[in-house]
Amino acid sequence: MADSRESKKSRPPQNARVGWALAVIGLLVLIYGAVTTTRLLLFTQSALSADGVVVGFEERERVRWQRRRGGNTSDTFTRMLRNRRVEISYFPQVEFVTEDGTPAAFVSNVGGRSRRFAEGETVPVLYDPDDPSVGRIGEAFDLWFPSAFLGALGLTWGAVGLYLAKPGKREKRGGES
């Protein structure tokens, strides 16, 4: 009996384990964000610029399952289908002409549930001179949003994880002091 108490005391509480797991995940996301940022910086240093035209949008579907309680059916599959919502994201398709006069096109890697650009709208483009199909819309949001999102997510998860793992925040059990 005393041995089981000792083994429970030597293990960190559940909050601390979850905290360290979140901190590690946050660190991994931060590393991925740093790699993404480095790749973007290298791309922008070698990229050429041009004016492009938004010619359409690639639609990508994403299914979201909503949790709802209640309903008069006990069939889980039917309830899941009823609580399913399809969201469509729009990614701009851009055409442009390279410095040497070759037509090129790409689909932006940044999209959303609304169309930020109108078809026919002129947008700045950055493209790889060796492979013009590798291009990006040259606006700050399109260039930096993925890196900023990963950085913010990594910092948030890491901070919450370290807060939960902090020894002073562990709950005291029973009458122990």
pLDDT level of residue 177 (50, 70, 90 thresholds): very low
**Strands lying side by side in the sheet with 135-137:** 103-107, 84-97, 48-65, 122-127, 135-137
Percent pLDDT > 70 in the chain is 76
pLDDT level of residue 175 (50, 70, 90 thresholds): very low
At 64, give phi and psi (nearest 5°): -115, 135
pLDDT level of residue 114 (50, 70, 90 thresholds): confident
Specify the length of the chain in residues.
Answer: 177
Residue 74 has pLDDT above 70, yes or no: no
Residue 57 has pLDDT above 90, yes or no: yes
Alpha-carbon distance of 127 to 106, in angstroms, equals: 9
Q: What's the confidence (pLDDT) of residue 35?
A: 95
pLDDT level of residue 66 (50, 70, 90 thresholds): low
Angle (CA) 87-91-92 rounded to 5° is: 145
Residue 71 has pLDDT above 70, yes or no: no
Closest listed residue to residue 135, CA positions, set 168, 175, 93: 93
Average pLDDT, the chain: 83
Q: What's the confidence (pLDDT) of residue 172?
A: 52
Q: What's the confidence (pLDDT) of residue 129?
A: 93
pTM over 0.75: no
Q: What's the confidence (pLDDT) of residue 132?
A: 92
- Please give the residue that has the higher pLDDT: either 111 or 83: 111
